[in-house]
Structure 1
Amino acid sequence: MKHYAYILTGVLASSIIATPAMADSTTRVAAASALGSVVGNVIGKQVGGSNGADLGAAIGGAGGAAAASSKSSRTESAIGGGLGSYAGSALGKNYGSNGQIIGAALGAAGGAALGNKISDDKDAEKRKYNNSRKYKRSQWKRSRHYHD
């Protein structure tokens, strides 16, 4: 079990390092959250058994997602990574200890990517709304100036 966890951790760590600088931020956040959840799962299992592994995966997934995301999307990514890794770890428990690690990694990656995407969409909507307000305000001032 330990050897499998170490191998999986090494593979995920190398994939984060090998990710090019131009990669999408969602990919980086998902990979970091998956790595954090695996490490948290292994450490939590050593400290508190199966339930400790669930909590460790949640903390590790949230921490990894928060560390890799931008300042504006940190909260959403951390919440998604934490919830996804906890759910994946709890569901993977039915398939043994390796299933618990794999479930935590997949859940963390999916949850962090979803949280990051929600934050990006929210920021885009905010920019769109602010830009339309600026345009309307400038048009209103311009039309008012010409009619005075």
Structure 2
Amino acid sequence: MKLNALLVSATLATSSMVAINAHADSTARVAAASALGSVAGTALGKNMGGTTGATIGAALGGAGGAAVASNKRNRTESAIGGALGGGAGYTVGKSMGGSNGGYIGSALGAAGGAALGNKVSKDKDADNRKYRKHRKHRN
């Protein structure tokens, strides 16, 4: 059953990355990559270190997936969001739905965290560009 949940999550995340026609820094693509990384990290961490290892694996996998799919400007914020979302999502999902709930929570948390981090970074860059454009240069 655990292997089935892992395979279904990986297939869903991979198919959503392929199905999206967008540029490299699409928020949906960052979310899907973070979800896939988080599920893989959860499975690997759980085999190596139990529940604590799964939480750490979910965070590291979510951060790695988000960082790989993000643009250079948005990489840090996306990775932080994916890590926090993946770790927290696994913990909440496990407490609500057992082991399979942990995998699902990890994927959803990492996807949401990475998407939010990516969006915040893009908004911050847009605000900075707007400010620099209208600022008067004085010597």
Please indicate, yes or no, whether the TM-score normalized by the shorter chain is above 0.5: yes
Aligned counterparts of 2:103 and 2:46: Cα–Cα separation in 1: 10
Q: Within 2, Cα distance between the matches of 1:22 and 1:74?
A: 15
- Structure 1 runs (4+) greater than 4 angstroms displaced: none
Aligned partners of 2:33 and 2:66 also within 8 Å: yes
What is the CA-CA distance between 1:66 and the residue it aligns to?
Answer: 0.3
Asked if residue 15 in structure 1 is aligned to residue 16 in structure 2, the reply is yes
Q: Distance in 2 between matches of 1:35 and 1:90?
A: 17
Distance in structure 2 (CA, Å) of the matches to 1:23 and 1:69: 7
- For 1:63 and 1:22, how far apart are their aligned partners in 2? 19
- Which residue is 2:105 aligned to? 103
C-alpha distance in structure 2 between counterparts of 1:93 and 1:30, whole Å: 21
C-alpha RMSD over aligned residues: 1.7
Please list the CA deviations of residues 99-148 of structure 1 after superposition, one character each: whole Å capped at 9, or x if unmatched.
Answer: 00000011001100110111011101110111012xx34xx8xxxxxxxx
Larger-gyration structure (1/2): 1
* Runs of 5+ consecutive residues of structure 2 not aligned to the other structure: none
Report the equivalent of 2:119: 117
Of Structure 1 and Structure 2, the greater helix share is in 1
Unaligned runs of 5+ in 1: 141-148
Match of 1:126 among 102, 118, 128: 128
Q: Matches of 1:51 and 1:105 in 2, distance apart?
A: 17
| Alignment TM-score, normalising by the size of structure 2 | 0.92
Structure 1 counterpart of 2:53: 52
Match for 1:11: what amino acid?
L
Distance in 2 of aligned mates of 1:131 and 1:77:
26
The CA distance in 2 between the partners of 1:2 and 1:8, in whole Å, is: 10
**Given residue 128 of structure 2, which amino acid in structure 1 is its aligned partner?**
K
CA-CA distance at 1:22 after TM superposition: 4.6
Using the aligned pairs only, state the percent identity.
60
What is the TM-score when the length of structure 1 is the normalising length?
0.87
Give, in whole Å, the separation in 1 of the partners of 2:92 and 2:116.
19
Q: Please say if 1:87 is aligned against 2:88.
A: yes
Matched positions, count: 137
Mapped partners of 1:24, 1:48: distance in 2: 33
SS at match of 1:96: helix
Residue 21 of structure 1 deviates from its aligned partner by 3.0
Q: Distance in 2 between matches of 1:54 and 1:32?
A: 18
